[in-house]
Structures are given as C-alpha cells and as structure tokens.
Amino acid sequence: MSAGPFLLDLSLQGRRVVAVGGGAVTARRVRDLLAEGAAIEVVAPTVVAELADLAAAGHVVWTRRRYAGAHDLDGAFLVHTATGDPATDRAVAEDAEARHTFCVNAGDATTGSAQVPARAEVPTPAGDVRVAVHAGGDPRRAATIRNSLVDHLTSGIVDLRGRRPTGGWVALVGAGPGDERLLTRRAATLLAAADVVVTDRLVPQALLARLPESTRVVDVGKSPRHHPVPQGEINRILVEEALRGRGVVRLKGGDPYVLGRGGEERAACEAVGVKVEVVPGVTSAVSVPAAAGIPVTHRGLARGFTVVTGHDELPGLPTGTDHTLVVLMGVGSLRETAAGLVQAGRPSTCPVGIVENGWTPQQRVTLGTLADIADRAERVGVASPAVVVVGDVVTLAHGWAGAARGSAGAVA
C-alpha cells in the first residue's frame, strides 16, 4: 500500500506564509490563507490586480522582485510557489525542504512536501464542519467528491449536533408551504444540528419523522380560534432551552417573518443574549397561489400585491382589481372580508381564488368572485389552512374557465 499525504488541520493564525509568484493561482491561494488569518508575504516582480489591491490595503506584504533564494523563506511556517517557471518552483521547494518548511508547489505536486486538498466548510451553530478530500493527486476528482460530501452534509440526513458544550442558540426556520422538497439547504442543516425543535402544526411532518430519536420535539401549533400555547410561552421555551446550552430550531410554516411572529421571537431571545439565526422560508403568501397557477403579479393584470391576515380590518387598501390582495388565515372571516372589500370600492365581479393545503396531495382550489365566493366556499366546505387571493390574476388559475361558466367552483 503506497503512502499518501497525511491530512492535517493546520492553524495558520498570525503565522508567516510566503507565496512566491503573482498570478491567478497565487491570488486564489492567498485568498484562502487570509481567511485562515495567515500573515502573508508575496514575492513576485508583478502581480495580478487582486494581489495588488490586497497589498495596497495592507492585507499582504508585496516584495516586488523575483525569488532571490532561501533567505526569502526566513521564519515561514508554510511556503506556496506558483511562478509558472518550473525551475524556480523547484528551487523554492528544495530550499523549503532544506529548512524543514512545508511547501506547496502548485506547478508540480510531486516536488512539494504539501498539497492542498479540495476543501469545503459547512457552517453549523455547534461549530463549522470542514471537509478535505485528497484523491490521489487528481484535483477534479477530489472536487467532485467534495461537492457530493457537502450535498450529503447539508441534506438534513447527517446528525450534525454538537457533542461538546458550545453554548445554546436559536434558529427561526421557515419550513415552506407544505412540501418538504421546498425546504432550504440551510434549514435542513440546522434541523440536523438541533437538540430541540419547537414546531407549528403546518410544517411537513416528514421533516419531523426523520429527526434523530433523541431530538426533542415541542409542538406549539395553533389552529383557528385555538391557541393552546400563547406566544409569550413560546418565547419562554425558546429562551430557556437555549440558556440551558441547547440548540433550538423554531420551525414555522412558510416564512418566519411573514405574519409568523418571528420578529417577536427574535427580540425575546436577543433581549437575554441568546444568539439567533433567521432562515427564510418559501412564504405561502406567494407560493400557495402559484401552486394553483396564480401569480401574485402579472404583466398587464397586476403590478403589485398586498398581504394581510383575515383577522385584520381591510380599510385603505387599493380597490382596483389590478392590485392583488392575498389574505392569510382568512377562511373564518371570508364572508365579512368579501363584503368589506365590495363596500370599500372593489367591484363585486372581482375574481377570488381559495387554495387549501397548497403543495400537498390534498390541495384544492375554489374559484369565484367577491359576490359569490363565500357561498361557494361554504358549499364545498373550505377549511384552513388556506390562502385567499383577490384580483384579476385569479383568472390565470387552473380551472378558471370552468368556474367562470358557473360550475361548482372547486378544482382538485
């Protein structure tokens, strides 16, 4: 079995690194080394613009001449050479070897004593996870494998929870409108890193089913006219769990900042010094209408839209049918909302669509106008969760032609 490189995580913070050569390869490596906190000197008669800018800003030292011999490497912990001249690169590598200093020869890895693997970083609240892949000197193969590993680590399948105390944290995570495939990569990563998940009733249940058995799930879900866990209690749970040193994901349907009280939860955590991350989700206000073929804006039909809840009064809203109104949590007050919009100036013929259980196999669409939508909804038994859309864009919905001819109004 041939000996391969020993992969080692080096700390270069504040340590001297010499980079010989001023081209694009050196610039790329210098960028990485600066991120690790290295103190870098570039030795080259000319450099690319990026390196010149770094030198002008004082981030690197630029010695404007050719490599002059082993004394250029004095005090270096690591040397990188990429001059484009094989003889010079070989001389740098030999001088570094004589000084027992590791050297990366970008032009010929076989003459250097160190190699740079394909690397990636997956940030988690419990500490960043770093991946380094060496594939027998084949950099493209290594990069392909690295990318696959990152995909796996951010899929939500791998348990990323910390095993040593690192301090508690809270992440306000949007779960999207109902289809787990619409979850963001960052959301999946944080779920895999959480000790506690505080969840709403509208999140995809498959997400919770895949959590490790030792991850505690706290259900604080609300339904219409039934709020068993008040918002203040939810805030307390988030804060107390984080102060106990646990990683907490507050998993919310849609987006945590779109009528989801995410701002209140963030403020409660930050008031006591708890670190908070906010991960946007695909908001149901836009995505659920889209699932029924309804864009909230459309050239020639609507140039803007407003999102409100059915619990609010609706004065002062644009009355033109070319302005889309999206009503969340509006099933219980549908009849009053429709009447109020007509009274405020919207025509009773204004199209209305109701999308129940968007992005799930149970999705159903009911179409009508402000004049008859409440009766149609009552007739087919519309129930929450549902999104109500009011405006001309509803005429783009799948099945609108049938509804306009006076059919029952419900579309599977």
* Cα dihedral 257/263/264/267 (nearest 10): 150
In this structure, are residues 394 and 352 in contact, taking their beta carbons and an 8 Å threshold? yes
Q: Where are the domains of the chain?
A: 16-116, 120-153, 169-282, 285-411
CATH class for the domain made up of 169-282: alpha beta
CATH 3.30.950.10 fits domain 285-411:
yes
Cα distances (angstroms) measured from residue 353 to each of 296, 361, 371, 397: 11, 18, 12, 8
CATH of 16-116, one of 3.100.10.20, 2.40.50.140, 3.40.50.720, 1.20.1250.20: 3.40.50.720
Report pTM.
Answer: 0.75
Active site residues: 200, 222
Alpha carbons 34 and 161: distance in angstroms, whole number: 29
In this structure, are residues 132 and 226 in contact, taking their beta carbons and an 8 Å threshold? no
* 256 DSSP assignment: T
In this structure, are residues 375 and 348 in contact, taking their beta carbons and an 8 Å threshold? no
In order along its 412 residues, the chain shows pLDDT tens digits of 456 678 888 899 999 999 999 999 999 999 999 999 999 999 999 999 999 999 999 999 999 999 999 999 999 999 999 999 999 999 999 999 999 999 999 988 788 899 888 888 888 888 888 888 988 778 889 899 999 999 999 888 888 888 776 789 999 999 999 888 999 999 999 999 999 999 998 898 888 888 888 999 999 976 655 567 899 999 999 999 999 999 999 999 999 999 889 999 999 999 999 999 999 999 999 999 999 999 999 999 999 999 998 876 666 788 899 999 999 999 999 999 999 999 999 999 999 999 999 999 999 999 999 999 999 999 999 999 999 999 999 999 998 987 665 544 555 4
